[in-house]
Amino acid sequence: MMSPHTEFAAMNNSEILVVKDLNVSYGESKVLFDANLSVKPGQVVSCVGRNGAGKTTLLKTIGGFLKPTSGSIIFNHTNLIGIRPYDIARMGLKYIPQDKRVFSDLTVRENLELGSYATRDYNWEQVTSLFPRLKSLMDHKGGYLSGGERQMLMIGRAILGNPKVLLIDEPTEGLAPSIVEQLKNVFKELSKKTALVIVEQNLSLVCAISAKVYAIKEGRVVTEISDEESIRSNICEQYL
Ligand SMILES: Nc1ncnc2c1ncn2[C@@H]1O[C@H](COP(=O)(O)OP(=O)(O)OP(=O)(O)O)[C@@H](O)[C@H]1O
Ligand SMILES: [Mg+2]
């Protein structure tokens, strides 16, 4: 068991989230091995890896949905281990799952409002300026949205309450190139206020927006790339 003192020592002051030596299993089956990751305010950090590498497991564990067997997750000076997902979200760390499930019988506005149910913090201006499309869809039922609109709604719901860190699992999966391009700009803009940890298979997007890229292979972070030249030249591909 780490003392609180050691945990603080593990965190560089400027980092908003530090994951250290995280191990996660599903029953007998071990899926993540000593995973490390960190992100600073104003950064976009990406995790890449093949299907089954453990990317979703990593994000779900950070969000509190899975309990690690060991390791620490320090968010804004607090160790999140043992804290429930709902409380982690209230603290300002939000997880957007891979499946873009919205409430189909609720309107877009009602779906968005659910994101701030706990904190009563509503930054409508941020949501509508990043997603003007949602503004015109406010009274539409969630069930009628296209895939791209659903993803905008998922992100909009998460940012309505001004989170400090957003974990987004495969945001562009199955979306048209024009929507991917829009999301790219949204991520760049959003990261000025909210640190982003994105799991993404679209490597050209990853190379365009990330300050740091983690390649995950068979449950291990096999490399961490943070120099701009290497990121832009898609060097992470060789580690997958
Ligand atoms: N609930 C579960 N119970 C048991 N094993 C699981 C469970 N969820 C995931 N796994 C296994 O854990 C490993 C990592 O899965 P995970 O979903 O984290 O991968 P991923 O990198 O997100 O993959 P993808 O790119 O397909 O989304 C896989 O071998 C998967 O089969
Ligand atoms: Mg996944």
pLDDT tens-digit series, residues 18-28: 999 999 999 99
Q: What is the CATH number of the domain that holds 232?
A: 3.40.50.300
Determine the Cα–Cα distance for residues 82 and 36; give it in Å rounded to an integer.
18
Ligand 1 residue neighbourhood (C-beta within 6 Å): 26, 29, 31, 49, 51-57, 98
d(CA 111, CA 104): 9
Q: How far is the CA of 55 from the centre of ligand 1 (A)?
A: 8
Mean pLDDT of all residues in 128-148: 96
Q: Hey, which of 28, 33, 51, 56 would you mutate to test ligand 1's pocket, going by the most ligand atoms within 8 Å of its Cβ?
A: 56
Backbone dihedral region for residue 42 (phi beyond 0: left; psi -120 to 50: alpha; all else: beta): left
- What is the DSSP secondary-structure string of 118-174? TT----HHHHHHH-HHHHHTTTSBGGG--HHHHHHHHHHHHHTT--SEEEEE-TTTT
pTM to 2 decimal places:
0.93
- Whether the per-residue pLDDT at 111 is higher than 90: the answer is yes
C-alpha angle 174-177-183 in degrees, rounded to nearest 5? 85
- The residue whose C-alpha atom lies closest to atom 27 belonging to ligand 1 is 51
Cα 168 from Cα 184, distance rounded (Å): 13
Among 33, 48, 57, 206, say which to mutate for ligand 1: greatest number of ligand atoms within 8 Å of CB. Answer: 57
Domain that holds residue 204: 4-239
Each residue of 65-93: pLDDT tens digit? 999 999 999 999 999 999 999 999 999 99
Give the chain's domain count.
Answer: 1
The mean per-residue pLDDT over the stretch 175-181 comes to: 95
Ion ligand 2 neighbours (CB, 5 A) are: 55-56
